[in-house]
Structure 1
Protein backbone atom coordinates (compact mmCIF):
# COMPACT_ATOMS: atom_id res chain seq x y z
CA UNK A 1 0.00 0.00 0.00
CA UNK A 2 1.16 3.49 -0.82
CA UNK A 3 1.75 5.98 1.93
CA UNK A 4 1.09 9.65 1.34
CA UNK A 5 3.73 12.33 1.03
CA UNK A 6 3.65 16.11 0.90
CA UNK A 7 3.32 17.52 -2.61
CA UNK A 8 1.80 14.31 -4.02
CA UNK A 9 -1.80 13.45 -4.84
CA UNK A 10 -3.53 11.45 -2.12
CA UNK A 11 -5.02 8.21 -3.48
CA UNK A 12 -8.81 8.22 -3.36
CA UNK A 13 -10.41 6.36 -0.48
CA UNK A 14 -13.89 5.67 0.77
CA UNK A 15 -14.91 4.74 4.31
CA UNK A 16 -18.14 4.38 6.28
CA UNK A 17 -19.06 7.73 7.84
CA UNK A 18 -21.57 9.19 10.23
CA UNK A 19 -24.89 10.05 8.65
CA UNK A 20 -25.24 6.53 7.20
CA UNK A 21 -22.99 7.19 4.20
CA UNK A 22 -19.60 6.41 2.74
CA UNK A 23 -17.28 9.38 2.23
CA UNK A 24 -14.02 9.63 0.35
CA UNK A 25 -11.58 12.11 -1.01
CA UNK A 26 -13.41 12.41 -4.34
CA UNK A 27 -16.47 13.73 -2.45
CA UNK A 28 -14.45 16.84 -1.59
CA UNK A 29 -12.87 17.67 -4.98
CA UNK A 30 -12.81 21.42 -5.49
CA UNK A 31 -12.58 21.99 -1.73
CA UNK A 32 -9.71 21.72 0.72
CA UNK A 33 -9.93 18.94 3.29
CA UNK A 34 -8.63 18.66 6.84
CA UNK A 35 -8.30 15.01 7.76
CA UNK A 36 -7.58 14.60 11.46
CA UNK A 37 -6.82 11.22 13.02
CA UNK A 38 -7.54 10.75 16.70
CA UNK A 39 -7.16 7.76 19.04
CA UNK A 40 -10.64 7.17 20.51
CA UNK A 41 -14.16 8.60 20.65
CA UNK A 42 -15.33 10.26 23.86
CA UNK A 43 -11.91 10.51 25.52
CA UNK A 44 -10.80 13.85 27.00
CA UNK A 45 -8.13 14.83 24.42
CA UNK A 46 -10.18 13.66 21.46
CA UNK A 47 -13.26 15.49 22.73
CA UNK A 48 -11.28 18.72 23.16
CA UNK A 49 -9.74 18.38 19.70
CA UNK A 50 -13.14 17.78 18.08
CA UNK A 51 -14.66 20.71 19.96
CA UNK A 52 -11.80 22.97 18.85
CA UNK A 53 -12.33 22.06 15.18
CA UNK A 54 -16.07 22.42 15.69
CA UNK A 55 -15.71 25.91 17.17
CA UNK A 56 -13.81 27.02 14.04
CA UNK A 57 -16.03 25.16 11.56
CA UNK A 58 -17.57 28.31 10.07
CA UNK A 59 -14.14 29.85 9.59
CA UNK A 60 -12.93 26.69 7.82
CA UNK A 61 -16.03 26.77 5.61
CA UNK A 62 -15.34 30.42 4.75
CA UNK A 63 -11.98 29.37 3.25
CA UNK A 64 -13.48 26.48 1.23
CA UNK A 65 -12.27 23.82 3.67
CA UNK A 66 -14.09 20.75 5.02
CA UNK A 67 -13.14 18.68 8.06
CA UNK A 68 -13.28 14.92 8.64
CA UNK A 69 -12.30 13.12 11.83
CA UNK A 70 -10.95 9.56 11.60
CA UNK A 71 -10.49 6.83 14.19
CA UNK A 72 -10.78 3.05 14.42
CA UNK A 73 -14.03 3.29 16.38
CA UNK A 74 -17.21 1.87 14.85
CA UNK A 75 -20.06 3.90 13.44
CA UNK A 76 -22.28 3.52 16.50
CA UNK A 77 -19.59 5.05 18.74
CA UNK A 78 -18.97 7.75 16.13
CA UNK A 79 -22.67 8.63 15.88
CA UNK A 80 -22.93 8.89 19.68
CA UNK A 81 -19.75 10.98 19.94
CA UNK A 82 -20.76 13.32 17.10
CA UNK A 83 -24.30 13.73 18.42
CA UNK A 84 -23.28 14.31 22.04
CA UNK A 85 -20.64 16.90 21.06
CA UNK A 86 -22.68 18.50 18.26
CA UNK A 87 -19.86 18.20 15.71
CA UNK A 88 -20.90 19.82 12.39
CA UNK A 89 -18.51 17.58 10.43
CA UNK A 90 -18.52 13.83 9.81
CA UNK A 91 -16.41 11.10 11.38
CA UNK A 92 -14.97 8.20 9.38
CA UNK A 93 -14.73 4.68 10.76
CA UNK A 94 -11.43 3.01 9.82
CA UNK A 95 -11.83 -0.32 11.60
CA UNK A 96 -9.50 -2.07 9.13
CA UNK A 97 -6.88 0.69 9.54
CA UNK A 98 -6.69 1.09 5.76
CA UNK A 99 -6.62 4.90 5.83
CA UNK A 100 -4.55 4.94 9.03
CA UNK A 101 -1.86 2.90 7.27
CA UNK A 102 -2.02 5.05 4.13
CA UNK A 103 -1.28 8.09 6.30
CA UNK A 104 1.15 6.12 8.52
CA UNK A 105 -0.50 7.07 11.82
CA UNK A 106 -0.51 3.65 13.53
CA UNK A 107 2.35 3.77 16.03
CA UNK A 108 3.50 1.87 19.09
CA UNK A 109 2.27 3.60 22.22
CA UNK A 110 2.92 2.97 25.89
CA UNK A 111 0.21 3.49 28.47
CA UNK A 112 0.64 2.47 32.10
CA UNK A 113 3.77 0.54 31.10
CA UNK A 114 1.90 -1.54 28.52
CA UNK A 115 2.79 -1.28 24.83
CA UNK A 116 0.11 -1.35 22.15
CA UNK A 117 -0.45 -0.16 18.61
CA UNK A 118 -2.71 2.85 18.25
CA UNK A 119 -3.40 6.04 16.34
CA UNK A 120 -0.88 8.81 16.83
CA UNK A 121 -2.86 12.07 16.84
CA UNK A 122 -2.13 13.54 13.40
CA UNK A 123 -3.69 16.03 10.98
CA UNK A 124 -3.35 16.40 7.21
CA UNK A 125 -4.31 19.31 4.96
CA UNK A 126 -5.24 18.33 1.40
CA UNK A 127 -5.75 21.00 -1.25
CA UNK A 128 -8.72 21.34 -3.60
CA UNK A 129 -7.03 19.11 -6.20
CA UNK A 130 -6.32 16.25 -3.80
CA UNK A 131 -2.65 17.05 -3.14
CA UNK A 132 -1.29 16.72 0.40
CA UNK A 133 0.01 20.16 1.36
CA UNK A 134 0.79 19.93 5.07
CA UNK A 135 0.93 17.42 7.91
CA UNK A 136 1.08 17.64 11.68
CA UNK A 137 2.22 14.56 13.60
CA UNK A 138 2.34 13.91 17.36
CA UNK A 139 -0.22 16.69 17.71
CA UNK A 140 -0.70 18.52 20.97
CA UNK A 141 -4.36 19.58 21.08
CA UNK A 142 -4.03 23.08 22.55
CA UNK A 143 -3.97 25.64 19.73
CA UNK A 144 -3.84 22.97 17.02
CA UNK A 145 -7.15 23.71 15.26
CA UNK A 146 -6.19 27.40 15.00
CA UNK A 147 -2.83 26.46 13.45
CA UNK A 148 -4.55 24.23 10.87
CA UNK A 149 -7.03 27.02 10.07
CA UNK A 150 -4.16 29.45 9.41
CA UNK A 151 -2.56 26.90 7.06
CA UNK A 152 -5.88 26.42 5.22
CA UNK A 153 -6.22 30.20 4.83
CA UNK A 154 -2.69 30.37 3.38
CA UNK A 155 -3.40 27.76 0.66
Structure 2
Protein backbone atom coordinates (compact mmCIF):
# COMPACT_ATOMS: atom_id res chain seq x y z
CA UNK A 1 0.00 0.00 0.00
CA UNK A 2 1.25 3.48 -0.83
CA UNK A 3 0.03 6.86 0.32
CA UNK A 4 -2.44 9.01 -1.61
CA UNK A 5 -3.38 12.68 -1.33
CA UNK A 6 -6.44 13.35 0.87
CA UNK A 7 -6.12 9.90 2.47
CA UNK A 8 -4.86 9.08 5.99
CA UNK A 9 -1.21 8.05 6.13
CA UNK A 10 -0.81 4.65 7.83
CA UNK A 11 0.86 4.95 11.20
CA UNK A 12 4.57 4.17 11.16
CA UNK A 13 7.45 4.04 13.57
CA UNK A 14 11.00 4.93 12.57
CA UNK A 15 14.35 5.61 14.21
CA UNK A 16 15.78 9.10 13.95
CA UNK A 17 18.73 11.12 15.15
CA UNK A 18 19.01 12.09 18.83
CA UNK A 19 17.79 8.59 19.77
CA UNK A 20 14.26 9.61 18.78
CA UNK A 21 11.65 7.06 17.80
CA UNK A 22 9.22 8.77 15.44
CA UNK A 23 5.63 7.55 15.66
CA UNK A 24 3.21 9.30 13.30
CA UNK A 25 0.26 8.70 15.66
CA UNK A 26 2.07 10.62 18.41
CA UNK A 27 2.43 13.64 16.11
CA UNK A 28 -1.34 14.12 15.70
CA UNK A 29 -2.21 17.75 16.33
CA UNK A 30 0.88 18.90 14.42
CA UNK A 31 1.52 19.07 10.72
CA UNK A 32 4.39 16.90 9.48
CA UNK A 33 6.75 17.42 6.56
CA UNK A 34 8.67 14.34 5.43
CA UNK A 35 11.29 15.13 2.84
CA UNK A 36 13.00 12.17 1.22
CA UNK A 37 16.48 12.73 -0.16
CA UNK A 38 19.03 10.40 -1.82
CA UNK A 39 22.17 10.61 0.35
CA UNK A 40 23.73 12.43 3.29
CA UNK A 41 26.45 15.01 2.61
CA UNK A 42 25.90 15.29 -1.15
CA UNK A 43 25.57 18.79 -2.66
CA UNK A 44 21.84 18.78 -3.48
CA UNK A 45 20.87 17.10 -0.22
CA UNK A 46 23.03 19.51 1.78
CA UNK A 47 21.49 22.55 0.06
CA UNK A 48 17.97 21.20 0.59
CA UNK A 49 18.63 20.44 4.27
CA UNK A 50 20.10 23.91 4.80
CA UNK A 51 16.92 25.40 3.33
CA UNK A 52 14.75 23.51 5.81
CA UNK A 53 17.15 24.46 8.62
CA UNK A 54 17.04 28.14 7.72
CA UNK A 55 13.22 28.14 7.57
CA UNK A 56 12.79 26.07 10.76
CA UNK A 57 11.36 28.97 12.84
CA UNK A 58 8.72 29.63 10.17
CA UNK A 59 7.79 25.93 10.04
CA UNK A 60 7.48 25.87 13.84
CA UNK A 61 5.26 28.96 13.72
CA UNK A 62 3.04 27.04 11.27
CA UNK A 63 2.72 24.15 13.79
CA UNK A 64 4.80 21.95 11.46
CA UNK A 65 7.54 19.48 12.35
CA UNK A 66 10.10 18.62 9.65
CA UNK A 67 11.90 15.30 9.20
CA UNK A 68 14.49 14.41 6.58
CA UNK A 69 14.39 10.77 5.43
CA UNK A 70 17.02 8.73 3.61
CA UNK A 71 18.37 5.20 3.52
CA UNK A 72 21.56 6.26 5.31
CA UNK A 73 22.27 4.89 8.80
CA UNK A 74 21.90 6.82 12.04
CA UNK A 75 25.66 7.39 12.44
CA UNK A 76 25.84 9.02 8.99
CA UNK A 77 22.72 11.05 9.83
CA UNK A 78 24.18 12.24 13.16
CA UNK A 79 27.36 13.40 11.40
CA UNK A 80 25.44 15.13 8.60
CA UNK A 81 23.09 16.83 11.06
CA UNK A 82 25.93 18.03 13.30
CA UNK A 83 28.09 19.28 10.42
CA UNK A 84 25.20 21.26 8.90
CA UNK A 85 23.67 22.44 12.18
CA UNK A 86 20.28 20.98 11.28
CA UNK A 87 17.62 21.82 13.86
CA UNK A 88 15.33 18.95 12.81
CA UNK A 89 15.75 15.19 13.03
CA UNK A 90 16.78 12.80 10.25
CA UNK A 91 15.03 9.44 9.93
CA UNK A 92 17.04 6.37 8.95
CA UNK A 93 15.10 4.16 6.54
CA UNK A 94 17.69 1.44 5.91
CA UNK A 95 14.98 -1.20 5.41
CA UNK A 96 13.16 1.12 2.94
CA UNK A 97 9.82 0.70 4.74
CA UNK A 98 9.01 4.42 4.51
CA UNK A 99 10.46 4.67 1.01
CA UNK A 100 8.06 1.92 -0.07
CA UNK A 101 5.08 3.40 1.80
CA UNK A 102 5.64 6.74 0.04
CA UNK A 103 6.72 5.10 -3.25
CA UNK A 104 9.94 7.07 -3.65
CA UNK A 105 12.27 4.32 -4.92
CA UNK A 106 12.70 4.84 -8.65
CA UNK A 107 14.93 3.59 -11.44
CA UNK A 108 17.64 6.19 -12.02
CA UNK A 109 20.57 6.55 -14.36
CA UNK A 110 24.04 7.84 -13.59
CA UNK A 111 26.83 7.75 -16.16
CA UNK A 112 24.81 5.30 -18.21
CA UNK A 113 24.29 2.86 -15.34
CA UNK A 114 20.82 2.14 -14.02
CA UNK A 115 20.14 1.72 -10.32
CA UNK A 116 17.29 2.02 -7.82
CA UNK A 117 17.51 5.24 -5.86
CA UNK A 118 15.44 7.67 -3.83
CA UNK A 119 13.46 10.13 -5.92
CA UNK A 120 13.72 13.47 -4.08
CA UNK A 121 10.17 13.93 -2.77
CA UNK A 122 8.34 15.82 -0.02
CA UNK A 123 5.04 15.10 1.72
CA UNK A 124 2.88 17.40 3.85
CA UNK A 125 0.64 15.63 6.38
CA UNK A 126 -2.07 17.58 8.23
CA UNK A 127 -2.84 17.60 11.98
CA UNK A 128 -5.14 14.58 11.58
CA UNK A 129 -2.57 12.41 9.78
CA UNK A 130 -4.00 12.95 6.28
CA UNK A 131 -1.64 13.50 3.34
CA UNK A 132 -2.54 16.92 1.93
CA UNK A 133 0.21 17.64 -0.56
CA UNK A 134 3.10 15.87 -2.26
CA UNK A 135 6.00 17.00 -4.39
CA UNK A 136 7.79 14.34 -6.46
CA UNK A 137 10.90 14.66 -8.60
CA UNK A 138 11.82 17.75 -6.61
CA UNK A 139 14.32 20.31 -7.86
CA UNK A 140 16.02 21.95 -4.87
CA UNK A 141 15.90 25.68 -5.77
CA UNK A 142 12.73 27.28 -4.38
CA UNK A 143 11.36 23.98 -3.06
CA UNK A 144 11.57 24.72 0.67
CA UNK A 145 9.72 28.01 0.15
CA UNK A 146 6.92 26.18 -1.69
CA UNK A 147 6.60 23.62 1.11
CA UNK A 148 6.60 26.37 3.75
CA UNK A 149 3.87 28.29 1.90
CA UNK A 150 1.75 25.13 1.70
CA UNK A 151 2.30 24.38 5.42
CA UNK A 152 1.35 27.94 6.37
CA UNK A 153 -1.80 27.83 4.22
CA UNK A 154 -2.80 24.43 5.65
CA UNK A 155 -2.24 25.70 9.20
CA UNK A 156 -4.77 28.49 8.54
CA UNK A 157 -7.58 25.98 7.90
Within the alignment, does 1:7 sit opposite 2:18 as a pair? no
1:132-152 Cα deviation digits (max 9, x unpaired): 000000000000000000000
**Segments ≥4 residues shifted beyond 2 Å:** none
Q: Specify every segment of 5 or more residues in structure 1 that has no aligned partner in the other structure, as ranges.
A: none
Aligned residues: 154
Query: In angstroms, what is the RMSD of aligned CA positions?
Result: 0.6
Q: Specify every segment of 5 or more residues in structure 2 that has no aligned partner in the other structure, as ranges.
A: none
Shifted more, 76-85 versus 18-27: the winner is 18-27
1:12-33 Cα deviation digits (max 9, x unpaired): 1111100012112123110000
Could you tell me how far 1:83 is from its partner in structure 2?
0.5
Equivalent position of 1:132 in the other structure:
131
Equivalent position of 1:70 in the other structure:
69
Equivalent position of 2:116 in the other structure:
117
Q: CA separation in 2, counterparts of 1:122 and 1:87?
A: 19
Q: CA separation in 2, counterparts of 1:114 and 1:91?
A: 28
Equivalent position of 1:95 in the other structure:
94
Q: CA separation in 2, counterparts of 1:29 and 1:134?
A: 17
Q: CA separation in 2, counterparts of 1:32 and 1:15?
A: 17
* TM-score between both structures, scaled by the size of structure 1: 0.98
Equivalent position of 1:143 in the other structure:
142
